[in-house]
């Protein structure tokens, strides 16, 4: 049983494509090069450095006048530096008379702050959306926001790309006849259901309560997992507290081998030690929306490329084609 991405790889057609420039922030130049390789477009040079007072300086080192500019920068650790660098690059492109500025943000960390669940706090996701528009971003391209409603925070067109095609293409190469897809919390049940349908599998869901940034409790599993292999599908793994508790309860409910699938593998703090301690965790499947250095790559970790998905979204935008098949609905 096989599947494929909802598009065929296709380089840009110079006769149909608007003149463009692609720049990389300092967060993830490897992903930007992957996107450029897919498109067959050279990476334009830029310079980023810090002044002695810790202010960030950026310079686009190629003319962008009347060009469509794409700036690739995930908002991953150090998130605040990477965000400010992206804002400065957008402003620099706008000030240099770019025709259109697109911020390509494979991972938007502030999407986790999507609601006012405590008194006197900022809804930071909305603030970041406003900052990007103010800085000059005319268009946003991102993938798998932590909360889908964050898409609506942007006042400029936003392409919210799906990850499930990448995962389905990989997972369908294995025997899934005795497998259940598990959402680690009820809030992630809808995207988990979409992946389960694509894999033609049943799903279950954990009921989670977050205690703080690093600790959660899982009270129950809704759905049968006894005697089943399970695929736990989450949008991001930071400290892996959710995974530890989910795995504990899945074992208690009789689940067998566990595969962790996550779009954004941050793996900060105690995450790697926690993941190593899950005895029935056979594989960790993630993507390269954020850089994963060698020291964070466990022996059972598989990193799938998303450059082709972002490259295809950019190509379709440049050539005025619909990108509906790539959307996360």
Sign of CA dihedral 327, 124, 76, 181: negative
pLDDT at residue 1 is higher than 50:
no
The mean-pLDDT minimum among 13-27, 87-101, 158-172, 213-227 falls in 213-227
Strand-pair partners of 45: none
**Exposure of 94 by Cβ count < 10 A (0-12 exposed, 13-18 middle, 19+ buried)?**
middle
Which tokens go with 131?
């900052």
Strand-pair partners of 327: 161
Query: Catalytic residue positions?
Result: 208
Orientation of helix 29-39 relative to helix 307-318, angle to 10°: 50
More confident residue, 10 or 316: 316
Provide the pLDDT for residue 195.
94
Question: Cα–Cα distance between 64 and 265 in angstroms, integer?
Answer: 33
- Which residues neighbour 281 within 8 Å (Cβ) at sequence distance 6 or greater? 243, 247, 258, 259, 260, 275, 300
Query: Rounded to two decimals, what is the model's pTM?
Result: 0.93
The full set of domains in the chain, from first to last, is 20-162+307-326 (3.40.50.2020), 164-304 (3.40.50.2020)
pLDDT at residue 3 is higher than 60:
no
Residue 215 Cα distances to 79, 142, 239, angstroms: 21, 27, 9
For 79-94, the pLDDT digits (tens) are: 999 999 999 999 999 9
């Amino acid at each position: 049983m096989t599947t494929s991405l909802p598009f065929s790889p296709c380089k840009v057609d110079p006769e149909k494509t608007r003149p463009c420039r692609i720049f990389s922030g300092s967060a993830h130049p490897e992903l930007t090069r992957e996107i450029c390789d897919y498109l067959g477009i050279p990476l334009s040079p830029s310079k980023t450095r810090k002044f002695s007072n810790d202010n960030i300086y950026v310079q686009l080192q190629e003319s962008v006048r009347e060009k469509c500019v794409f700036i690739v920068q995930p908002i991953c650790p150090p998130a605040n530096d990477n965000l400010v660098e992206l804002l400065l690059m957008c402003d620099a492109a706008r000030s240099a008379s770019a025709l259109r500025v697109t911020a390509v943000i494979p991972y938007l960390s502030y999407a986790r702050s999507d609601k006012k669940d405590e008194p006197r706090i900022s809804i930071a996701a909305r603030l970041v959306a406003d900052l990007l528009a103010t800085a000059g971003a005319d268009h946003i391209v991102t993938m798998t926001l932590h909360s889908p409603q964050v898409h609506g925070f942007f006042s400029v067109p936003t392409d919210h790309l799906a990850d499930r095609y990448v995962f389905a293409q990989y997972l369908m190469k294995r025997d899934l006849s005795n497998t259940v897809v598990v959402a680690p919390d009820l809030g992630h049940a809808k995207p988990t259901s979409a992946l389960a349908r694509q894999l033609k599998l049943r799903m279950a869901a954990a009921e989670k309560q977050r205690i703080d940034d690093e600790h959660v409790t899982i009270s129950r599993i809704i759905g049968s997992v006894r005697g089943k292999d399970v695929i736990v599908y989450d949008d991001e793994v930071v400290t892996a507290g959710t995974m530890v508790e989910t795995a504990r309860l899945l074992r208690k409910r009789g689940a067998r081998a566990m595969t962790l699938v996550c779009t954004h593998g941050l793996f900060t703090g105690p995450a790697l030690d926690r993941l190593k301690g899950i005895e029935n965790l056979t594989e960790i499947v993630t993507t390269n929306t954020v850089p994963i250095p060698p020291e964070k790559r466990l022996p059972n970790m598989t990193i799938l490329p998303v450059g082709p998905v972002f490259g295809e979204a950019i190509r379709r935008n440049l050539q005025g084609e619909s990108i509906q098949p790539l959307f996360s609905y």
